Structure 1
């Protein structure tokens, strides 16, 4: 198997986007000529053109959205224009592989379809649920617009790649895809990249224990829940024997720094922003408990959180809220507080701080899961199978003739 593949991503630069980079290198190793179109990064991935490990990367300047939905419309419109511009220059491809959000890259694939290009839709997020969870505006005109774009994306896709079984069920139900057209390619950390280093007592800032959060800081990511839980850990449990570090950035970074100050956590909570891998390994290797505070909402309940997988790769015990896919991913590597219950979240942190044997046991379970049944090696097999299905000869590619009768639409299960 082999050919020319064009991967489109707007959310992050590449290779910073770890999932896209894993997919790109797996395809390259399988004999594909791989090109990626993505935005330029702010501090890394800044070059307009790069070839890394045989993968051709084409980057464009992009200003991230600020404010409400109007900012995202400007961002996505600019990204789509640049993507069309670069794709036109690169010529014909056997596969266009679109990673959402946004659900707009099907337009690029449709423009190439007359030359035999197949479209693989890599559904990183359920955008209608993302809209509801992020903006809280209900099922308004923009919600209907993003729902329509998702329907058009499903219709254009020859194959759908889902990140977990919950997303697969959405593709089968409201997406109307056939089972043989949907493949689960779970996001998984590269175990070799997430490796233990000697603990660094200095990052505890003189405290016995270190708590760690790793990930994006957006409205739906629950950093505010984590901070309020830490205030409860201090106030309700009388615990001042910990230091917490929050690694990452995002739309709400400044607001979260302000909230920590408002809660009186300045002396025990540290925000690092994005940091190099070697510093991240120091923090995670030293951490006693890792935090996954994503609140329950239409998106989070059915999404696989990268931070959970990365905590497990580092053998760290986790405290999470009760979410369907969080439990599927972590199993017994996490303790689960009732959804959005900050007092119980704090109680579970305190419980783990007092039980080093339980922390060790949970860490070992997590490491075994990401090195075994949830490893990237399994996901890579599914990715290559999806590509094989996409390029396989067929009498009629989906949706190129008369529209198929739609199946009943259901929500995520």
Structure 2
């Protein structure tokens, strides 16, 4: 089997989706699959990489064959609408050109979203060259963009995006989603979609890479991931004032993203610089140690209906490193906390977040118990090694004519994300 994966993000970018696509590619390759990845030159977070202007570059990254294609590269934090759209559109348009000249090199194409435009390459691959097409959907990008104020509901752009998504979902042979709720949202929005196409394939975690490192604990809690608009990090920062009335504790916000500058300003304005640190982007290899020496991980999703399908990748990483997590939000993240017994969900306001953190700090035995249960849970249900094996099996079972793809994530709905 020869697979082409199209992804907007890939290492050396350090986003959750970049590492997930890399892990998927690596594990599929170890299973004997010929994998090639198409990605733009690294540019996320915006402005953190030097711009490149060559049409394309080919190489390998830890054994994974990679082709970087030219795309517009925003060079400032939190770029405006025009810059974002140029970034999101130029890359998938370039993938179409690449596919027209290289269609004989693959049998299956996997397009990973968000952004939704990565599906551009799947349309000619399926309709012109009869390739099997798998849509890897991690996010309800249009809904999230509306709820976060980036897109106006009912606008021409939304209507065009919905029509485009309808075409993609109708033509794809398989639609992989991270959670059951995400699949249900897609089927409610696009009612003509064959439910047999939709299969839960969790984000998961590389349990060989993320594991409890034997290091002394520090008086710190940690957020490690994209510092973006969907995270309620402002309330976590403000909660640190109440937490430090009883404990001498630091919050590390590791990573980069659109609102990092805003959060640094909030920290300074509220006199919390002694309690909150922003180490910036760090090598992925350093993260398991930083998680292991932390007491608690935080995963604060904003409380929005359009985010109820989401489970941030960082939650699995916390559990894999045997630390409990304090989350915010509703839907799938709350279900995961309850099923795994590895996390607690607080309300989206500083006092509730602070009280939940304080509860765990005052009960170290509870911390240790939750950490052990979280690790056992991801070992059993969310190993990326097993997810890749299940994906390979599902890809081999796709019957394009009958459109009966079969892929299993190895767990029942009760155990899914």
Structure 1, unaligned stretches of length 5 or more?
399-413
User: Partner residue of 2:232?
Assistant: 222
Contact 2:134 2:175 in 1 (8 A): yes
Alignment counterpart, residue 134 of structure 2, candidates 116, 120, 126: 120
Report the TM-score when normalising by structure 2. 0.84
The alpha carbon displacement at 1:54 in A equals 4.4
The alpha carbon displacement at 1:290 in A equals 1.2
- For the aligned residue pairs, the C-alpha RMSD in angstroms reads 2.6
Per the alignment, in what secondary structure is the counterpart of residue 48 of structure 1? strand
Question: C-alpha distance in 2, partners of 1:14/1:85?
Answer: 24
Instruction: Single out whichever of 10-19 and 246-255 deviates more from structure 2.
Output: 10-19
User: Partner residue of 1:131?
Assistant: 145
Question: C-alpha distance in 1, partners of 2:160/2:280?
Answer: 33
User: Partner residue of 2:35?
Assistant: 34
Structure 2, unaligned stretches of length 5 or more?
406-417
The alpha carbon displacement at 1:254 in A equals 1.2
Report the CA distance shift for 1:54/1:91 in structure 2 as closer, same or farther (over 3 A). farther
Contact 2:197 2:403 in 1 (8 A): no
Aligned: 1:281 with 2:281: no
Question: C-alpha distance in 2, partners of 1:393/1:281?
Answer: 41
Per the alignment, in what secondary structure is the counterpart of residue 193 of structure 1? coil
Per the alignment, in what secondary structure is the counterpart of residue 257 of structure 2? coil
The alpha carbon displacement at 1:226 in A equals 1.4
Question: C-alpha distance in 1, partners of 2:132/2:251?
Answer: 47
Contact 1:200 1:282 in 2 (8 A): no
Aligned: 1:379 with 2:379: no
Report the TM-score when normalising by structure 1. 0.85
Question: C-alpha distance in 1, partners of 2:81/2:164?
Answer: 15
User: Partner residue of 1:196?
Assistant: 212
The alpha carbon displacement at 1:159 in A equals 0.9
The alpha carbon displacement at 1:396 in A equals 7.7
Report the CA distance shift for 1:255/1:61 in structure 2 as closer, same or farther (over 3 A). farther
C-alpha deviations, 1:45-89, integer Å up to 9, x for none? 999322245431001344148434332211112212332233334
User: Partner residue of 2:84?
Assistant: 72
Report the CA distance shift for 1:159/1:137 in structure 2 as closer, same or farther (over 3 A). closer
Alignment counterpart, residue 164 of structure 2, candidates 108, 130, 149: 149
Structure 1 runs of 4+ with >6 Å offset: 43-47
Per the alignment, in what secondary structure is the counterpart of residue 278 of structure 2? strand
Question: C-alpha distance in 1, partners of 2:381/2:13?
Answer: 25
Report the CA distance shift for 1:48/1:133 in structure 2 as closer, same or farther (over 3 A). farther
The alpha carbon displacement at 1:373 in A equals 2.1
User: Partner residue of 1:253?
Assistant: 260
